[in-house]
């Protein structure tokens, strides 16, 4: 910004920002004001600011390997000279105008190093002249006999004082989107960089790590979600290569290798919603269990759980998480294709469970494909005498790109299970995963006409699920395209 005075004092302008030599990089503040106080006193002084005062030196543009020292510069900020006796009270009453930057103190030594005074640094975006103070602030200054005369303070600003967006905006080509959002999974920050950001990927990773305490590894997703195990291929951009994350979700601890299993922090509310529907003593069949975010909390709240996942790594971490949360005796785990799980362990356990009174739930969270597995319930218990009681409640997830997702998912679920579910199901919106793509959960009791049907021959589950998967993936594409 520039410093202007009224005509009788002439017009001064000076560059407010001067890059410091790299060798003087440090986070210490310099305390000498460059202009005589008389030149910038009282209401004659106006700070005209650039819209972005905290803009790093232009030389950093295009940098691909992070040089933190190149961000060091000196800027001039307004300040008030405050007697030490009233310092705390003044700082309190100037909350709105005082400078608020990470790593920058609001109070610094007076330039004359007098122990009777300190300088309170003000935010140059908010204070450009003495008239910038609010009525209440001006009144407080008067009551504490603080001179409203604005001082100038030369402040050394370093990389550490800048926000992520400020660093990236200065480095990436002008006018390009610098969005730096990421998902946090334990110590891992997980990004999804766009093509124009890729030349700067390591720098972006380093900045994210520096600016987010606790993040010690930054990864970028390098492909679309893997079609079978729902995990991403990822590249480490910065930090340690340790992919074993420790997270806490809804009070439950999980550990897993984030590069080899599925984990989505955005599903925590959904996990909690479903687990809250399950009462102690009930049974849960988790067909696509992942590392256990339904299975483990359900077992902790007193349910008996049979949890399955096709990915051997998920299966291993599922067992690990059961032990970690001391529910290994309540969870039986399986490493099967979902269809084989329904036609195997689910089919075996159901007849006895239907005779009891405790509820039975089947959780199917594989949104791209789960609807395609519903036909596994057709005639599942065809050898058993039909009954109405205690039929299993299915919670089946899917994506929809339809204008009316509720109608769409009920129709697709009905088609797959071979029975109209319209009047006997509920649909829950889980989250919007992309523009025009919603994740939904359809809940229904498996109709007895389906479960005990003698018209549907149960095909033996094959040990190798790939051929089945080929068909289901093709079918799923119809819905997803």
Ligand X SMILES: C[S@@+](CC[C@H](N)C(=O)[O-])C[C@H]1O[C@@H](n2cnc3c(N)ncnc32)[C@H](O)[C@@H]1O
Can you say which residues are annotated as belonging to the binding site? Answer: 271, 309-310, 337-338, 365
Q: What is the DSSP string of 237-255?
A: EEE----EEEEEETTEEEE
In terms of phi and psi (left: phi > 0; alpha: psi -120 to 50; beta: otherwise), the region of 375 is alpha
Give φ, ψ of 14 to 5 degrees: -145, 150
- Between 16 and 416, whose beta carbon lies closer to ligand X? 416
- Between 108 and 366, whose beta carbon lies closer to ligand X? 366
Q: 83 is written with which tokens?
A: 């007697």
Burial grade of 15 (CB within 10 A; 0-12, 13-18, 19 or more) = exposed
Q: Is 282 helix (H, G, I), strand (E, B) or coil?
A: coil
- Between 202 and 343, whose beta carbon lies closer to ligand X? 343
Closest listed residue to residue 119, CA positions, set 75, 77, 81, 78: 81
Annotated binding-site positions for S-adenosyl-L-methionine: 271, 309-310, 337-338, 365
- Between 157 and 291, whose beta carbon lies closer to ligand X? 291
The rounded distance, in Å, linking the Cα atoms of 168 and 55 is 11
In the complex, least distance from residue 465 CB atom to ligand X, rounded to whole angstroms: 5
Name the residue number minimizing CB distance to ligand X: 290
- Between 309 and 408, whose beta carbon lies closer to ligand X? 309
Q: Is 398 helix (H, G, I), strand (E, B) or coil?
A: strand
Closest listed residue to residue 290, CA positions, set 249, 251, 326: 249
The binding site for ligand X (CB under 6 A) comprises 228-230, 262, 264, 267, 288-290, 293-294, 308-311, 314, 337-338, 365-366, 465, 469
CB contact set of 165 (below 8 Å; sequence gap of 6+): 178, 180
The rounded distance, in Å, linking the Cα atoms of 322 and 313 is 14
- Between 314 and 400, whose beta carbon lies closer to ligand X? 314
In the complex, least distance from residue 337 CB atom to ligand X, rounded to whole angstroms: 5
The rounded distance, in Å, linking the Cα atoms of 467 and 14 is 73
In the complex, least distance from residue 110 CB atom to ligand X, rounded to whole angstroms: 58
- Between 228 and 475, whose beta carbon lies closer to ligand X? 228
In the complex, least distance from residue 403 CB atom to ligand X, rounded to whole angstroms: 25
Cα of first residue to Cα of last residue in the chain, in angstroms, is: 53
The rounded distance, in Å, linking the Cα atoms of 362 and 250 is 21
In the complex, least distance from residue 289 CB atom to ligand X, rounded to whole angstroms: 5
The rounded distance, in Å, linking the Cα atoms of 151 and 156 is 16
- Between 290 and 405, whose beta carbon lies closer to ligand X? 290
Count of beta carbons in the 10 Å neighbourhood of residue 55 = 17
In the complex, least distance from residue 33 CB atom to ligand X, rounded to whole angstroms: 58
- Between 208 and 247, whose beta carbon lies closer to ligand X? 247
In the complex, least distance from residue 341 CB atom to ligand X, rounded to whole angstroms: 7
- Between 283 and 308, whose beta carbon lies closer to ligand X? 308
In the complex, least distance from residue 350 CB atom to ligand X, rounded to whole angstroms: 18
In the complex, least distance from residue 460 CB atom to ligand X, rounded to whole angstroms: 16
Query: What pairs with residue 431 in β-bridges?
Result: 439
Q: 451 is written with which tokens?
A: 């479960």
In the complex, least distance from residue 322 CB atom to ligand X, rounded to whole angstroms: 14
Torsion sign, CA atoms 195, 198, 200, 205: positive
Q: What is the DSSP string of 451-465?
A: HT-SSSPPPPPPS-T
Whole-Å CA distances, 2 to 47, 49, 124, 176, 282? 6, 7, 11, 28, 71
Whole-Å CA distances, 147 to 52, 144, 288? 28, 9, 69
């Amino acid at each position: 910004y520039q410093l202007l005075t009224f005509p009788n004092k002439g017009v001064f302008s000076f560059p407010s920002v001067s890059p410091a030599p790299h060798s003087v990089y440090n986070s210490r503040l310099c305390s000498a004001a460059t202009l005589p106080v008389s030149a910038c006193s009282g209401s004659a002084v106006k700070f005209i600011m650039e819209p972005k005062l905290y803009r790093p030196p232009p030389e950093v543009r295009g940098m691909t390997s992070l040089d933190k020292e190149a961000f060091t510069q000196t800027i001039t900020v307004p300040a008030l000279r405050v007697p030490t006796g009233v310092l705390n009270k003044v700082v309190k009453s100037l909350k709105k105008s005082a400078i608020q930057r990470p790593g920058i103190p609001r109070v610094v030594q007076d330039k004359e190093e007098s122990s009777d005074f300190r300088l309170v640094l003000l935010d140059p975006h908010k204070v450009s002249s003495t008239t910038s103070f609010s009525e209440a602030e001006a009144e407080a200054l008067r009551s504490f006999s603080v001179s409203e005369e604005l001082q100038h303070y030369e402040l050394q600003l370093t990389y550490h004082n800048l926000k992520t967006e400020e660093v990236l905006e200065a480095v990436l080509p002008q006018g390009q989107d610098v969005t730096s959002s990421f998902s946090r999974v334990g110590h891992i920050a997980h990004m999804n960089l766009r093509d124009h950001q890729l030349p700067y990927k390591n720098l972006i990773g380093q900045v994210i790590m520096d600016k987010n305490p606790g993040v010690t590894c930054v990864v970028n997703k390098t492909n679309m979600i893997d079609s079978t195990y729902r995990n991403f291929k990822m590249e480490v951009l910065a930090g340690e290569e340790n992919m074993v994350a420790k997270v806490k979700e809804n009070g439950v601890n999980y550990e897993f290798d984030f590069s080899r299993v599925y984990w989505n922090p955005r599903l925590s509310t959904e996990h909690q919603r479903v687990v809250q529907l399950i009462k102690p003593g009930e049974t849960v069949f988790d067909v696509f269990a992942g590392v256990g975010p339904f299975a483990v909390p359900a077992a902790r709240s007193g349910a008996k759980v049979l949890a399955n996942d096709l990915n051997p790594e998920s299966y291993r971490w599922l067992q690990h998480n059961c032990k970690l949360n001391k529910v290994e005796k309540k969870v039986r785990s399986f490493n099967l294709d979902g269809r084989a799980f329904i036609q195997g362990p689910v089919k075996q356990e159901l007849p006895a469970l239907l005779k009891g009174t405790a509820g039975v739930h089947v959780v199917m969270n594989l949104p791209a494909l789960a609807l395609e597995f519903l036909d596994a319930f057709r005639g599942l218990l065809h050898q058993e005498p039909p009954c109405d009681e205690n039929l299993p409640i299915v919670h089946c997830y899917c994506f929809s790109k339809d204008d009316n997702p509720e109608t769409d998912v009920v129709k697709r679920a009905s088609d797959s299970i071979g029975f109209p579910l319209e009047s006997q199901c509920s649909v829950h919106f889980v989250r919007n995963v992309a523009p025009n793509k919603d994740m939904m959960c359809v809940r229904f009791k498996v109709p007895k006409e389906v479960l005990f049907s003698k018209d549907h021959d149960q095909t033996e589950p094959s040990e190798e699920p790939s051929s089945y998967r080929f068909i289901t993936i093709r079918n799923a594409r119809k819905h997803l395209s």
